[in-house]
Amino acid sequence: MMAQTIQQLMQQARRQLTETGIEDSSFNVNCMASAILGVDIGQLPLHWPETATSEFVDRLSCMVHRRCANEPLQYILQNWSFLDMTLVTRPGALIPRPETEEVFLAAAQAIEQAIEQGGLPQNFRFADIGTGTGALGLALARRFKGAVGLLIDISSAALDIACENLTAYSELYTRVGVVRSDLLSAVRRTSLHVIISNPPYVNLADVGTLMPEVRDHEPHLALDGGVDGLVIIERLIVQAAEKLVVGGLLIFEHGHGQRQAIIKLLGDAWSDYRAGDDLCGHERYFILIRSGK
């Protein structure tokens, strides 16, 4: 068989993905090829004329086969970007998404304002609940150099991934711990200044209708929010009221169309709240402030 160039193999891979119904086939193949070659995507054209090695052929073929079976690209690559971090991604933890980056940026702004106004100390204590890959908690600790926090999840598989991601940032070892817990049950009362979370919020009846990449590969534990999608969120709100100091912040992501139902869950434990949309105009997050009641 005549040797093929990297460009020819990539073209074949794109056609195969497209024929299987995979969207953004060019992006998928570019990510795969750059991972195999160990180069940035922008450098790929420099390698197109090269004769593909047997290793390149085998690895690309394996990746394409997995992607055609609807396995998420992020799990195939085993890493994905979140803000300025590159995180380990594999089954057992939800894949970090751009919408959650937006939640983090809104959270960081709210925390900065609270610090400037004297509502929070520079060395605030936080917990990332349902941490998964550790994305939100690690981003908080890196953004706020005095913060001390916990990455919390009920899933040991998720915590293994969070620990692996923590090892990439050894400067955080003295400030960030990893704890297995059902939400905030392992946390002392009034011991936290900030709680951040991307909890499960998909309506149980809708889990089966999700895209196959999500439905068949990402952990249902991180998706299933119960019969109305708000079972975990309601528990989080109640527990956070016990664990936060007065003036503390609870920030959490939620699904589009859930805002009004969540507002009805808020009692006088919260002195104020801000509800925000993502860049697509979808309802996306809440920022709550703990009252003195």
Q: How buried is residue 185: exposed, middle or buried, by Cβ count under 10 Å (0-12/13-18/19+)?
A: exposed
CA 161 vs CA 168, 200, 279: distances in Å: 11, 18, 28
d(CA 238, CA 78): 35
Q: Where are the domains of the chain?
A: 6-69, 81-290
Q: Does domain 81-290 have CATH number 3.40.50.150?
A: yes
Q: How buried is residue 280: exposed, middle or buried, by Cβ count under 10 Å (0-12/13-18/19+)?
A: exposed
Helix intervals (H) in 124-189: 135-143, 156-166
Looking at residue 2, what is its pLDDT?
Answer: 73
d(CA 63, CA 116): 48
How do the pLDDT tens digits run along the chain, 293 residues long? Answer: 578 999 999 999 999 999 999 999 999 999 999 999 999 999 999 999 999 999 999 999 999 999 999 999 999 999 999 999 999 999 999 999 999 999 999 999 999 999 999 999 999 999 999 999 999 999 999 999 999 999 999 999 999 999 999 999 999 999 999 999 999 999 999 999 999 999 999 999 999 999 999 999 999 999 999 999 999 999 999 999 999 999 999 999 999 999 999 999 999 999 999 999 999 999 999 999 999 87
Is there a contact between 251 and 275 (Cβ–Cβ < 8 Å)? no
Partners of 289 in the β-ladder: 249, 272
Is there a contact between 262 and 223 (Cβ–Cβ < 8 Å)? no
Which fold, 6-69? Answer: Helicase, Ruva Protein; domain 3 (1.10.8)
Looking at residue 129, what is its pLDDT?
Answer: 98
Looking at residue 3, what is its pLDDT?
Answer: 85
Looking at residue 1, what is its pLDDT?
Answer: 58
Is there a contact between 184 and 243 (Cβ–Cβ < 8 Å)? yes
- Say whether 115 sits in a helix, a strand or coil: helix
How large is the C-alpha radius of gyration of the chain? 21
CA angle 46/50/55 to nearest 5° reads 115
